[in-house]
Structure 1
Amino acid sequence: MKKRPRIIGIGIATMDIYCHQKRMYPGGNEFNIAYDAKLEGADAGFMGIFADDTVGGILEKTLTDAGIDTSRSHHETGSSGYALVNLQDGERVFLDWNKKGVTDLYPFQFTDAEIEYIRTFDVACISWGARVSKEMIERLAKGGVTICYDFYDNFTKADIQEISPYIKYGFFSCSHIGEEKTKEILEKCVGLGCRIAIGTRGANPAIAYDGREFYTQDVCKVKATDTMGAGDSYISSFLTNYLSVEADESLTTENKITASLKKAAEFAATVIVKDGALGVGYDVDPDRLSDIINL
């Protein structure tokens, strides 16, 4: 029997600014996951750091307008995160970004009350870029929080060694390495305690590993308008679909994973034909960013 999953993203809220379009699009790894999970039918929350500038207000309103709970987010004086972005044949290219936004300056320490709130969700999604320390990952796990961690594409052996014991789901961007190396990484992650590890590989089939066998899933080939947020949408869709059937004893583990991988590939294909990560955008004058961001 399916249930309605509860998924929270803890981490990045940022604004992707496309100067050539004079448009800006809300985004950020966990921001996108929360938004997409809501689209997929989950109860979604986001816990991040919002700045006291115009962009900070836009970022939070984008989520609340979508019915996503931001009530435990922090609000700080400072600059919203932003990135300057260009597109090359549908591939997003980061030109520059600010490195002292409020997410960087005010990392979460997590009070007992915050951990109790996070525990009301089936899974908390955190990424390498969320500025959540390895010590805080351990604290959350020991506090009873189920964690999904996105290692990005710049993961190290130390990252895998130190984080894998405390997470249930691990995601890796592996388009820069081959199939066998991807499998080695997934095996290492699961061997250290992670339940399911998944490597996305760009246009090549994704690979998942659950400690017993490997699963592969082809991408759904479409002409990309903008690949921003593709990996985040994959994570949100996999989790939403897997959590909805995880307790269904009539389905095998293999069927649960393969069906969720397929749904994730299908959903990601709908996202890369949107503008920005979410298809939500606003006009902007790139020469007047200081009017809306505390630079």
Structure 2
Amino acid sequence: MAFGMKVLGLGDAVVDKYINKYTMYPGGNALNFAVFAKQLGQQAGFLGVLGSDQAGSYLKKVIDKLQIDNSHARTEEGENGYSEVKIVDNDRIFIGSNKGGVSAQNLLKLSAADDDYLKSFDLIHIGLYGQVDHLLDKVHSLDLRVSYDFSDNFTSKKVDMLINKVAYGFFSLSGKSDEAVKSFLQQVYTNNNKVLLATRGSEAAIAYDGKRFFEKAATAIEKPVDTMAAGDAFITAFLVAYLSKQVGIEESMVKAHEFAAEICQLNGSFGLGVKY
């Protein structure tokens, strides 16, 4: 692959409402991926369903401001997806959400024009909460390279259903031992996978390419401002380094840890908060 990529975040764009500050920040796994990829020098797009409310309108302004292509994104009447968050000891605690809002009520359907649009990207990234798992068969049939964030709330059934349709799979396995993580990655790995990777908060991340394991300690952060989207930042930076910069898995993990540490110095996923 030539240096530089064109990547798409397919799925969720939400606002994270920090209830103790009455401030909402743009976020969501798919949007975060697109924003971080853009920051890391790649061409980036977002495709998902936005609401017609204040939050949806603000997200559209942010996406346009950051020059993220959203020419195929939809806006539907109703409430945009949101979560409610509070910060305790510099860590974000999720209080609740509207479970995707309009993106869950109006599941994204792909047209022939959307198919052609998707084919213009080198990598499609999807997350567990993106409300687009139903599109994975279609995306897979288009022979597109897919990365998927299973997060920390996946089920064995979900992994079994999706894992062979993705090239790059990511899991959050905080609290799991080295042995448990390696056993899990080895167990779920399929011939369709390229790399599976587990992050564990401040503990070392572990990757598996079907042949060997790779471990890299996290970058120490003395005083994180906000850990929101640290995992999304890690995933994006790893993929950009590994696929675009064409460096090895271990070096890509180092770059991922470093970028995630930088993102932890921002409020929200990537700043740009507004009062609500």
Please say whether Structure 1 and Structure 2 have the same fold, judged by a TM-score greater than 0.5.
yes
For structure 2, the residue ranges without an aligned partner over 5 or more in a row are none
**SS of the counterpart of 2:189?**
helix
* Structure 1 outlier segments of 4+, above 3 Å: none
Greater mean alpha carbon deviation, residues 150-159 or residues 221-230:
150-159
For structure 1, the residue ranges without an aligned partner over 5 or more in a row are 247-254, 285-295
Whole-angstrom CA distance in 2 between matches of 1:179 and 1:171: 16
Whole-angstrom CA distance in 1 between matches of 2:80 and 2:103: 8
Aligned equivalent of 2:17: 17
Aligned equivalent of 2:84: 84
Superposition deviation, residue 192 in structure 1: 4.9
- Aligned to 2:271, which of 260, 279, 286? 279
Deviations 1:245-269 (Å, cap 9, x if unpaired)? 34xxxxxxxx511111111000000
Matches within 5 A, 1:13-162: 13-99=13-99, 101-133=101-133, 135-162=134-161
Whole-angstrom CA distance in 2 between matches of 1:37 and 1:152: 19
Aligned equivalent of 1:257: 249
Residue type of the alignment partner of 1:25: Y
Aligned equivalent of 2:8: 8
Whole-angstrom CA distance in 1 between matches of 2:184 and 2:258: 25
Superposition deviation, residue 100 in structure 1: 5.6
Residue type of the alignment partner of 1:84: E
Matches within 5 A, 1:188-267: 188-222=187-221, 223-246=223-246, 256-267=248-259
Checking the alignment, whether the CA contact within 8 Å between 1:40 and 1:240 is kept in structure 2 is yes
Deviations 1:132-164 (Å, cap 9, x if unpaired)? 23x521221111221101111122222222211
Q: What is the RMSD of the two structures over their aligned residues, measured on CA atoms?
A: 1.5
Greater mean alpha carbon deviation, residues 212-221 or residues 184-193:
184-193
Superposition deviation, residue 176 in structure 1: 3.6
Checking the alignment, whether the CA contact within 8 Å between 1:6 and 1:123 is kept in structure 2 is yes
Per the normalisation by structure 2, the TM-score is 0.95
Whole-angstrom CA distance in 1 between matches of 2:260 and 2:141: 32
Per the normalisation by structure 1, the TM-score is 0.89
Whole-angstrom CA distance in 1 between matches of 2:211 and 2:185: 12
